[in-house]
Structure 1
C-alpha cells in the first residue's frame, strides 16, 4: 500500500473521521471551508478540487462538465441530460437524490430511528405538532449523500410545495459513526422542513439536514438566502407545483434527506440499509 493510499484509508475510517470533524470548532470550520469552496482563483480552486477528487471518491462520468471554476461548482454540479431517469410509474415515489440508504421503516407513533438503537421523536425534528400528527404511524427513509456524490435533489413525485421552515442548528457530521454516538443528531443540525402534497392530496415531508462543512441548503423554488434573512425560522407558505424529477435544490457538500410518507404509503421491499440508490429510483408506492 502506498503512503498516500494508506493515509486516505486512515482518514476515511469512521472513527478517525468522527474525531477529526467533531473535535474541532464545527461552525468555524464550516465557515472557512465555505469561503474556500467559493474561491475561483486557480491557486486555491485547483488544489481544493484535487483534494476533493482524491479523498471523496468522486465519479464525474455523468457530469455535464468536468471543468469547475471552484470547489463549490464541483459539489453542486449538474448532470448530463438523461443521466437520471425517474420511475415513470404514476404510483411510484422516487428517491429525490443519489444516496446511501440509512435507517428506514415504520414510524412507531412519532418515534423513529437515526440508526438501530438510537430513537428520536418526529416532534423534535419537525416543529409543527399538526405535521407530527399527519405522519404518525407513517413511514420514513433516511438518504445520506456522501461528499463525492451528485448533490442536487429533485421532486420524488408530481407534487405541490405548501410550506418551508428553516431551523438553525449545529453541523455535526452525519456519517454512521456519528449517528451511533450523537443522540438525536438530525434534530440538532441545521435543516429545512419541506411540506408537500401529491396530486391526490397525499402529504409528504422532505427534511434536508445540513452537516459539517455544509450548513448550506439551497432551494431552487425559493430565494433561500432572502428567506433566511427575512423570516429566520418562521414557516414560509408556498404554492409551488413541481413535476417528478424537477430540481428542488442542492447541498453545497454531502448531507442527508429524511423523507416521510403517511400511513398507507408503502416503502419498497428492496430498500436495504447501506445500499446505494440513485435519484429517480422507486423507493415507495402510493
Structure 2
C-alpha cells in the first residue's frame, strides 16, 4: 500500500492510549493531511496559479493580509513592498545584501532559505524523505539520468514554507550542464505528508538541475513542486516549467554561474533536494529541523 492513513507514533505510545495533548496533535495532523491532500490537488494548483497572477492592488493587499493571519510573513527585507499581484509577493526580490553568500571556496552554500529535513548518505541508490520512508535516486532523477555518481555522497532536503523567500541561487561557482523536467502530482511536501505518502518526491512535479562545480565535482539540485505551487522558473533557460509539460523534458545547456547568482524561483513554497558526491560533509550546525538562509554554509568539501 502506497499511503499510510494512520498517523505515525509520536513517542512510541498508541495515539488512542496517549494523553489528551497527543490525541489533539494526531487529530490536527489528520486534519492537515485531509485539507491539503484529500482534495483535487492539480486542479487547485492550476486555479491558484491563475488567481495569483490577477493584477489588482486591492485584491493583492487583501490576499496578503489574509496570508499574514496564518503565516509569519515578513516583508521587511523585500526590495519593493507594493505588489501588483500575489505572485509578485511570492516571488519577491530582496534588498541588496540581504543574503550574503559564504565566500570560502570549500563551502557549498545553501541555495535557498529553508528548513533542513531529511539528510544523510546515499546508500545503494536509496535516500529517505522521512524515517522509514525510503525512495530511490534513480526514480527521483527520472529514466534518462544517471544518479550513480552520488553513491556514497550526501543529500540534504530543504523545505521552503509559503512565507519564505522563494528564489534560489547557485551554491558555488560552476556550470549548469543539464536540466530534466518531470511533470507529476502536487502532493503537499510538509512533514505530515512526508510521513504518510511513500515516494512522495518521486511522484511530484520536479526538475533535476545537474551542475559541475569549478572544483570539478558534479552536484544536483532537485526543486520539487507541491500543492498550489507547480511552476518553476529557471533564468538560464528562460523557461517556465509547469504542469503542461508532460513526460521527461531534456534541456541540455551550458550556463556558467558564480556563487550566489540567482538561478530561478518557485511561485510558492516547496522543496529543494541537494545531492553532492563523496568528499563533502555537513557544515557546522546543519541538522534536521534547523532553519537556514540562502548563502549560509550547508556543506563543506573535506
TM-score by length of 2: 0.87
SS in 1 for 2:101: coil
126-135 or 264-273, which deviates more: 126-135
Which of 80, 86, 92 is the aligned partner of 2:101? 86
User: Per-residue displacement from partner, 1:180-227 (whole Å, max 9, x unpaired)?
Assistant: 000000000000000001012100000000000001111111122389
Matched, 1:28 2:28: no
Query: 1:16 offset after TM fit, Å?
Result: 2.4
CA distance in 1 between counterparts of 2:294 and 2:75 reads 15
User: Quick one: structure 1 residues 83 and 225, their matched pair in 2 at CA, closer, same or farther if it must change by over 3 Å?
Assistant: closer
Check the 8 A contact 1:266/1:284 in 2, yes or no: yes
Structure 1: 5+ residue stretches without partners: 1-9
Q: Which residue of 1 aligns with 2:21?
A: none
Query: 1:167 offset after TM fit, Å?
Result: 0.1
Check the 8 A contact 1:14/1:175 in 2, yes or no: no
CA distance in 1 between counterparts of 2:111 and 2:192 reads 24
Q: Which residue of 1 aligns with 2:131?
A: 116
SS in 2 for 1:181: coil
Matched, 1:146 2:161: yes
Which of 242, 246, 265 is the aligned partner of 1:250? 265
SS in 2 for 1:45: helix
Matched, 1:189 2:198: no
CA distance in 2 between counterparts of 1:127 and 1:18 reads 27
User: Quick one: structure 1 residues 165 and 207, their matched pair in 2 at CA, closer, same or farther if it must change by over 3 Å?
Assistant: same
User: Per-residue displacement from partner, 1:20-47 (whole Å, max 9, x unpaired)?
Assistant: 1111100111011111100012343222
Query: 1:58 offset after TM fit, Å?
Result: 0.6
Number of equivalenced pairs: 275
Query: 1:14 offset after TM fit, Å?
Result: 4.2
Query: 1:261 offset after TM fit, Å?
Result: 0.1
User: Quick one: structure 1 residues 228 and 22, their matched pair in 2 at CA, closer, same or farther if it must change by over 3 Å?
Assistant: closer
Query: 1:65 offset after TM fit, Å?
Result: 1.6
Check the 8 A contact 1:105/1:267 in 2, yes or no: no
Matched, 1:234 2:255: no
Q: Which residue of 2 aligns with 1:76?
A: 91
Query: 1:169 offset after TM fit, Å?
Result: 0.2
CA distance in 1 between counterparts of 2:228 and 2:244 reads 21
CA distance in 2 between counterparts of 1:104 and 1:234 reads 28
Q: Which residue of 1 aligns with 2:152?
A: 137
SS in 1 for 2:50: helix
Which of 72, 96, 107 is the aligned partner of 2:122? 107
Which of 230, 242, 260 is the aligned partner of 1:215? 230
Q: Which residue of 1 aligns with 2:190?
A: 175
51-60 or 25-34, which deviates more: 51-60
Matched, 1:62 2:77: yes
Q: Which residue of 2 aligns with 1:96?
A: 111
Q: Which residue of 2 aligns with 1:41?
A: 56
Matched, 1:259 2:259: no
